[in-house]
Amino acid sequence: MKLSFCTDSLGHLPFEQMLDKLLELGVYGVEMTTGGWSSAPHLRTETLLGSATQRQQLLRALESRGMSIAALNVSGNPLDPGELGNKHKRDTENALALAGELGVKKIVMMSGLPPASPHDTIPNWITYTVSWPPTLKNCLDYQWNEVAIPYWQGLVARAKESGVEKFALENFSSMLVWNPETLFRLRNAVGDMVGLNLDPSHLLWMGADPIAAARALGPAIHHCHGKDVRLERGLVNINGLLETKPVEDVANRAWNYVAVGCGQDLQWWKEFFSVVRMVGYNDWVSLEMEDLTMSVDAGITSSIAALKQTLSQ
């Protein structure tokens, strides 16, 4: 496995300064954000699509440093029924086109989340149906069969035209694909080009075991994020794992995204990466640093140190 970096966390630095910073830290791969919810601070997709010269300059900046693009990231909600969804669809199409021009084979994104019916305007993350109210089962069937699967069938066909080989969907909340089971539902419907971007932090706060998830996923692991979460002792015992407070309210939340090693210890991370490697994944692991309990630089430095000690290389 090789260590890469999701570039938004260094969005305050110009592109080549960001590369030099990563090089100093011993990171040789970048997961470049291209749109969606990201402002794409280092990469202007439409500009690059219109200029072969600028594409070559970007590639030379990487190659001169011995660095590579691990993936293009276009995380957003292309299934939103409004203008946001239209923008994220365009961003996704542009990311595929740019991947084709740059020779990038992997796209990291999210599955998307539609509304619960064709009459609704707000996406609806349905996580409880059981037997009541029975209409929720119909809503889920609509989201999957009428919206998500047709969209993804078309997107897979489009990706093949661009030379993209893998979609890696982050198991993120408020998305139709948020765990291994939902990933396999989509994968079985549209093909094995679709796999998971295995992010252990989300599974942990949902109450799952990422190591068991890795065993279940096997070759369906298409990418991996190095990202940790801490269940805050005392608070999570009182209020449970569901949390609606803003991520900035770190002192009062039941769980927080934290630097790698500040949630699970390094022995846990060694086992996690060992199992991920054992089931067949031997590619990039991208640090996604979203710890708001410390400075960005401190979070990046400590996370990289932890990942270097625990990656199965």
Taking only the tens place, the pLDDT of each residue in 178-215 is 999 999 999 999 999 999 999 999 999 999 999 999 99
Q: What mean pLDDT is predicted for residues 298-310?
A: 97
Kindly report the CATH number assigned to the domain that includes residue 229.
Answer: 3.20.20.150
Q: What mean pLDDT is predicted for residues 100-109?
A: 98
| pLDDT single digits (tens) 258-280 | 999 999 999 999 999 999 999 99
Q: 284: closest CA among 48, 71, 10, 17?
A: 71
Residue 210 structure tokens: 């990422």
Q: What is the pTM of this model?
A: 0.96
Question: Does the pLDDT value for residue 252 go beyond 90?
Answer: yes
Domain count, the chain: 1
Question: Does the pLDDT value for residue 130 go beyond 70?
Answer: no
Question: Does the pLDDT value for residue 231 go beyond 70?
Answer: yes
Question: Does the pLDDT value for residue 313 go beyond 80?
Answer: no
**192 lies in which domain range?**
2-309
